Amino acid sequence: MDRGGCQMNGGNGGGGDDGRPDQTGMITLEDLESFSEEQLEDSDNLDDEDKDMDDDRLLHYWQDVARGHQVEVAQEMSEPIQQLTSNNQGRSNREAIPFTLLARKEKCGELLWEKRHYEKGHWACVTMREETYEQSICYGFMKLMRYICQHNSLGDYLGMTLPIITVVRTNENHSVISNDVTVAYFLPIEHQAQPPLPDDNEIVIEIWPATAVYTRPFTGPTNEVTIVNQINAMTEQLDSPSLSANDSFIVAGYTNPAHINRQNEIWFLERP
Could you write out the DSSP letters of every residue in 73-107?
A: E-GGGHHHHHHHHHH-SSGGGEEEPP-EEEEEEEE
Neighbours of 118 (CB within 10 A): 18
- Give me the CATH number covering residue 171: 3.20.80.10
What does DSSP assign to residue 270?
A: B
Neighbours of 245 (CB within 10 A): 15
Asked, for residue 104, whether it belongs to a domain, the answer is no
Asked, for residue 194, whether it belongs to a domain, the answer is yes
Range of the domain at 10: 6-90+112-269
- Whether residue 224 contacts residue 12, with contact meaning beta carbons closer than 8 Å, is answered with yes
Per-residue pLDDT of the chain (272 residues; tens, 9 = 90+): 445 444 433 333 333 444 333 333 444 444 544 443 444 444 444 444 444 555 677 778 767 766 655 556 677 777 776 776 666 555 456 799 999 999 999 999 999 999 999 999 999 999 998 777 777 777 788 889 899 988 999 999 999 899 999 999 888 888 888 888 999 999 999 999 999 999 999 999 999 999 999 999 998 877 788 899 999 999 888 877 677 767 889 999 887 544 556 789 999 998 87
Asked, for residue 103, whether it belongs to a domain, the answer is no
Helices 78-87 & 48-67 angle (0-180, nearest 10):
100
Asked, for residue 96, whether it belongs to a domain, the answer is no
pTM: 0.76
Asked, for residue 68, whether it belongs to a domain, the answer is yes
Give the total number of structural domains in the chain.
1
- Whether residue 200 contacts residue 142, with contact meaning beta carbons closer than 8 Å, is answered with no
Asked, for residue 99, whether it belongs to a domain, the answer is no
Asked, for residue 100, whether it belongs to a domain, the answer is no
Kindly give, in sequence order, each residue whose CB lies less than 8 Å from that of residue 45, ignoring residues fewer than 6 positions away.
none
Asked, for residue 101, whether it belongs to a domain, the answer is no
